[in-house]
Amino acid sequence: MMAAWEFNQFAEDKILVDKWSPDAVVGYAKRHDLFDYVPSTKTLYNWIDEGKLSVINMDLAMKLRRSTKKAKSAENKKILGTSIEERPESVETREEFGHWEIDTVLGHKSKDNALLTLVERKSRMEIIRRIPSKDASAVTDALSDIFSEFPNLQDTFKSITSDNGSEFSKLAEQGKKLQIDVYFAHPYAS
């Protein structure tokens, strides 16, 4: 118990007078083998929070400036259409051909060109097209070209699922015109 009391006096002096951080106090005491017992930095912070030392958080410059990361709020993220939660079970279980997932991929060398990818969920068939940019009009134009290649459009494309990227902002409208169900993943799902 005496060792803990001596350490506490040392810690209070170094923090209050010399303006050391709790981590510096613990590191110095361990490196120079000053006490029989030296707590971990976390334990020292806990003791300060619990009032076991005469040091308070206001005395710790870094703890006052340090801000914890806050979870990003999805409430401002626009949902572009029907939620993925409303997809039929046949889409989930991959029992039926014609349900596609769409995404865009940017290359690391060029910020202009992108790839539009469509993957059919049951067969894993892929359609990949280079698009001039990752924006809604480029995606809409590429999809129009792809759809024109399939004479039985409604048999080939029953649904498309995408993320909520701005490049898919016209997808629901395009799907509605062509009688293709369009679903969107939850915001910040990736």
Residues 24 and 101 in one domain: no
Q: Give the model's confidence band at 180: pLDDT under 50 very low, under 70 low, under 90 confident, else very high.
A: very high
Query: CA Rg, the chain, in Å?
Result: 29
* 115: phi then psi, degrees, rounded to nearest 5: -115, 135
Residues 178 and 87 in one domain: yes
Residues 8 and 95 in one domain: no
Instruction: Please write down the HEC assignment for all residues of 69-87.
Output: CCCCCCCCCCCCCEEHHHC
In the chain, % of residues over pLDDT 90 = 54
pTM: 0.57
Residues pairing with 103 in the sheet: 117
Instruction: Give the count of domains, the chain.
Output: 2
For the domain that residue 106 is a member of, what is the CATH number?
A: 3.30.420.10
Token output for 13: 């002096």
Give the domain extent around 36: 2-65
> What's the rounded mean pLDDT across residues 136-161?
93
70 found inside a domain: no
From 35, 65, 95, give the residue that closes a domain. 65
